[in-house]
Structures are given as structure tokens and as C-alpha cells.
A and B are shown apart, each in its own frame.
Chain A
Amino acid sequence: MTMLELWRKRLRQHQAQQFKYLRLVFNDHFVIAVIFLIGALALGYANVLKLIQQSYWWGPLVIAGIYTFVLSIGHLATLFESADSTFLLPKESDLFHYLVAARKYSLLVPTLVLILTGVAVFPFAMVIAPNFSLTSGITAVIALWILKDLQLWLEFLNCYAVPGKKTAWYMEKGYFYLISFIVLGVGVYVTPIISVIAALILNLLIRRNVTNEALEGQLKFQEVIVQETGRQFRILKIYNLFTDIPSLQRSAKRRKYLDWLVNRLPKNHKQSYLYLFGRGFLRGTEYLGFYMRFLVIGTLILFFIKQLWLAVILYLLLLYLSGFQLLPFYDQYDSIVFTKLYPVAVQDKLKSFQQLLWLVLGLQWLITSIPLLVTFGLTVMSGLMVLVGLIFTGAFILGYTQMRLKN
């Protein structure tokens, strides 16, 4: 089997796996929630745009900053596996073609991201940057794409090292982002054609080195594998927020500063699982961070929304998403044999999990109610909304959770 065939085989497997996970993530209820969230965000975006009356001299810098940030999404996907450093060692030179194909494939997702960003940023750029037109918007996306292509060539080169030779300065990631920012900034100020030409020149300069470096150099198996494992882990971690990914190695942090909370959890036979779930939630690296970010950002956004109906939808949506992403946690310990042996009734496990949800969502309900009460005052209407929030939380925990976890 040539390495190019190996790549094609792995790509098929990889895509099948991604598709499987995506289907699990985007299940019926979640899609509806996401559509609402996008709608709310779009409306908020439109409101913000209305507030900006004129263009500013620093406008192009903000635009260039957003563009540069988006360049950091999507990297070289090599699909290397840890056994490769043993089994593919004799195939090193043939792997060149594998990696060329991998690099080409890696452009796919970033291309979509760049186009979407171009579309999303366009109305904002129109108001905040002077002389920004539709042509500028399209040209800027082309420049971005050439820069992304360049970045992936750099990452390709980074798979190789010539023994005894110092790595070139431009391999340092910081320089890429700095130069991209300058190239894009100048483009947005003057005309994006400049960005396209500059990006093209840089791109060709780097490409010149590719064959030489790869022929002269050695493939850095260990490093490439570590990078790919890290990349896969980051993707799986995102999926894992919404569904259970069994292969994901979980890690924990001691977080001693939370011990005062941990120690308040009840300790009795019926609530054995609350003992476990509580600690898992507070010390695991998956749920707490996501929950806290959600809570902080959600509360901040709620402070800025002045339409009652929109605020209420967002308020309930945040509660739903917070609870929803926690549901896979219920099965987290099933792979540990003891969980199957404990003489604890399944109903008690479910009850413990619901108690955890009450603690987590209850706290969120309390905190996100504050901006509602602040913005809309202590009126009957806002009081009613907060009550609706509580009822919603209860219905989610006692109704929805019970239904989802029982089957």
C-alpha cells in the first residue's frame, strides 16, 4: 500500500467518525436551541451595528484583528497515530505524498470558516472602516485564504527538521500572525489588493523551500504524533460537551480551593452518587470550565439586552444548554467496573444526578435572574419571568432529564 492510499483510507475513517459524532451532537432539541441562539445573536449584532454612527480611524485595525484571529482556526490534520512511529518508519520518504495530501485536505474546513467570517464581518466592516466596499470584502477573503494556505505550508515544513540546522525564524508562529496582521491591516486601510499581492509573494517564497526541506530533512515522527493527538483531543473535547466520547481520556485537577464546597456535599448511602458526581463536576476538566464561561458570558449578555421577550428566550436557553451539556456526565463513570457493582439502586443514581443538576442549574437560575431584575425592575412582569425560569429548571430536571436518561 502506498502512503497516499493509506491517507485516503484514514481520511475515510476519520470522516465517518466525525460524521457519527456530529450526528450525535446535532440531535433534534439541540438544533432548535442553536437556531434560536444564532437568531438572538444576529439580532444583537444588528442592534450593535445601529449604535455605530460613523467610521473610525481604528476601525480597520479591529477588522484586521478579527481576520487574524480567524486565521488561528484550523490546522494541519495529519491523522498520524502513535503506532506510526514504529510501523511507518521505513516508509518515511513515501510519507511526503501522504503529508501533501493531508495539507490539501486541511484547507477545506478553514476555507469554509474564512468565507463565513467574511460574510459575518462584512456589515460591521462597512460601518466601522472607511471606504470598505463589497469588492474589499471579497478581496480580503481571497487574501485570507492565501495566508491560510501559507500557514499550512509552514506547518507542513514544521513536520521536517534538517539535523544540525537551526529552524528558520519564520517557523515561529508569532511571526506568522504578526505579519498577517500587518498585511491585512494595510489592506483594509488602503485596498485589499495589496494584501492579496503581499500574501501571494510570501506564499511563493515559502513554497520554494518545500521539496528541498522535505528531501533533506527527517520527519519528526514524535512531534507530529504529539501534535495530532493534541488536535484530535481538542476536537473530541468539544464533541464531548454534548455527547459521551468513550475514548476520551479524562483528566482531573485537585482544585483544593473548592474543598469547602466539596465537603458540604452530603455523605450517605442513598446519595453515594452525589458524592461521586459532585466531586467529578468540581474537579473534572470538562464541565466546570464550560459552565463557568457560560454563566459569566450569559449574565453579561443579559445585562445588555433591553427587549423583554429576547431576554427571556436567552435566559431560558442558557438554562437549557447548561443542563443539556451536562447530561452525558450521567454515564461518565459507567466504564469503571465498580459503578456496576455498587449495591446502589439505579433510581438513587438518577436522583443523585438530578440533585447535582438542581445545584448547578439552581445557582445559574439565581445568578442569571439578577440582570433580568436589574434591567426590567422589580415589577410583576419580571417577577413572573423569574418564576418561569424556576419552573423551566424544574421541568428540565424532573421531566426532560428523567426522560432522556431512562432510555
Chain B
Amino acid sequence: MSLEIKNLTGGYAHVAVLKDVSFVAKDGEITGLIGLNGAGKSTTIKHVIGLLLPHKGEILVNGLTLNKNKDDYHKQIAYVPETPVLYPELTLKEHIELTILAYDLDKEKTMTKATELLKKFRLDNKLDWFPSNFSKGMKQKVMIVCAFMTDAKLFIIDEPFTGLDPLAIHDLLDIVEEKKTQGAAILMSTHILATAQQYADQFVLLNSGQVKAAGTLEELKETFGMADANLDDIYLQMSKEAVDDHA
């Protein structure tokens, strides 16, 4: 019951990008948020983490809402943005330390976890560097480390596979898998459909700010009436329908 979006209409101040979006990302599952450019994936994510406020509808994370329990709500969420953003004046180690302080985490336990993750991503020898000078992929890894060392219940990853090298993608999926077995919910937006199909348990197909279909791959096949299809085919079919709708 981790993330629950109920009839969410929202977007920017005067432009409603999302129209009546509802879906659930369950604990112990990876939910793939799939859609064309501009379909509303990032807008949905911005609503969940509280950067945008709903015009209508409600977002619950384990029963908590942002306006009632701001801090407890945020403590449950870890977020990896699409474009890495880092503090120019903090070293890699200090980014980790600041996250520990801000989320009020146990210092030693979290440090051990972080060190493990850093080793995995081959960053453990760069602790004293400014990550804002790293390459995009390495910055992305820093963001992943900072997110996955927390005890969050809901992990939100926006387009995780762009910019990462194949080895890092593999490592990321390992970590996600681990969090999943520990019972966390994972919401992941992506274009890389082959990978999504392989790892996600559930899919939410967004188009023009509306949920076109949701469910497991089997359920999607049924919805679109394509028995032998893979996610790619379904995605193309959906986009085609969207174009037809427009015409």
C-alpha cells in the first residue's frame, strides 16, 4: 500500500498537465512509469515528492499526506532525479554526511551502507572530491548512493538508465532488487522498455497526462488485445492510438 495516487489533477500554476491520474505502487514491487516525452511522468513524480501541489486529488505514502505530516512524509521518500543536482561546495563524503544529518539517520549504520554502495560504484576512492565536477554518469551514481543508503519506504527514480554505463545499470538494478525484497516500493520512470519489461512488476502507461493502462505485462497484453506482444509493441500501439486520438 506504499504509494497511492487518487484522482490527481495537477501541473503548473495555470496549466493542468495531469488529468485524473490514479494508480498504486505497492510495497515489494517495482512500478514502471512509462510514457512519451511530455506525457507527464516527471510531473507525476514532482507531485509525489511535493515540488508541485495538486489542484485536485490526493497522494498518500503509507497513509501519510504532505500537508498533514510534511517531515514524516518526506522521511519515507528517497529520490534520484533525472538530471543530477549536487552542492558545488560539498565533497562526496559531505554529501553523504549531510543526507545523514538532514534525514536524521543512524550515523554508523548508514555510513557502512554508503561505503558498500560507493565500493560497488567504484567511487570509494573519490570521497574527498567535489562531485559537481564529475561526469554525468558519476554524478548520477552519487545521487543513487545518497538515495539508497536511506531507510526510505518509497524509492523514486526518474529515468535512471540514461548516462549510466552498462555495468552501473546492472549494479543499480541489483540494489533496487535488494530494496524490493526488503519490502520497499519503487517507482521508476523510463524509456528503456526492454530493461523495464525485464525488471518491473507493474506498469503505468501515461499519455497526455492520463493513465492509459496499468497492471502487469499480462494484464496490459489483455487490455490492448495483443497476446504475444512485448512492452515495446504495446508502447508503440499506445502511441499510435494516441496519435489517432489527436487526429
**In chain B, what residue has the closest Cβ to A335?**
B85
B164 located at the interface, meaning its Cβ lies under 8 Å from any Cβ of chain A in the complex:
no
B130-151 residues with Cβ-Cβ distance < 8 A to A are 130, 132
Report which B residues bind A (CB closer than 8 A).
Answer: 49-51, 70-72, 74-75, 77, 79, 81, 85-91, 94, 97-99, 101-104, 130, 132
The number of A-B residue pairs with CB atoms under 8 Å apart is: 70
A324 to B162, CA, bound (A): 42
Q: Is the CB of A283 within 8 A of B89?
A: yes
- Tell me which residues across on chain B come within 8 A of A276, comparing CB atoms: 87, 90, 98
- Tell me which residues across on chain B come within 8 A of A217, comparing CB atoms: none
Q: Is the CB of A275 within 8 A of B98?
A: yes
Q: Is the CB of B89 within 8 A of A267?
A: no
Contact pattern, A 213-226, Cβ under 8 Å of B = 1, otherwise 0: 00000000000000
- Tell me which residues across on chain A come within 8 A of B71, comparing CB atoms: 343-345
Pick the contact of A340: B50, B88, B97 (CB < 8 A).
Answer: B50
Contact pattern, A 246-287, Cβ under 8 Å of B = 1, otherwise 0: 000011101000000000000111011001100110111000
- Tell me which residues across on chain A come within 8 A of B130, comparing CB atoms: 252, 254
Known: A267-B101, A275-B101, A343-B102. A250 touches B88 (CB 8 A): yes
Q: Is the CB of B101 within 8 A of A279?
A: no
A169 located at the interface, meaning its Cβ lies under 8 Å from any Cβ of chain B in the complex:
no
Q: Is the CB of A338 within 8 A of B90?
A: no
- Tell me which residues across on chain B come within 8 A of A251, comparing CB atoms: 88
Pick the contact of B97: A252, A267, A271 (CB < 8 A).
Answer: A267
A382 to B190, CA, bound (A): 68
**In chain A, what residue has the closest Cβ to B69?**
A343
A341 located at the interface, meaning its Cβ lies under 8 Å from any Cβ of chain B in the complex:
yes
Known: A341-B49, A341-B74, A343-B74. A280 touches B104 (CB 8 A): no
Q: Is the CB of B72 within 8 A of A343?
A: yes
A309 located at the interface, meaning its Cβ lies under 8 Å from any Cβ of chain B in the complex:
no
User: How close is A351's CB to chain B, nearest CB, in angstroms?
Assistant: 14
Contact pattern, A 332-346, Cβ under 8 Å of B = 1, otherwise 0: 010111101111110
Q: Is the CB of A279 within 8 A of B89?
A: yes
Beyond the given A275-B101, A279-B94, could you list 17 further A-B residue pairs with CB under 8 A, ordered by the A residue number? A251-B88, A252-B88, A254-B130, A267-B97, A269-B101, A271-B101, A276-B98, A279-B90, A280-B87, A280-B89, A284-B89, A336-B85, A338-B102, A340-B50, A340-B51, A341-B50, A343-B103
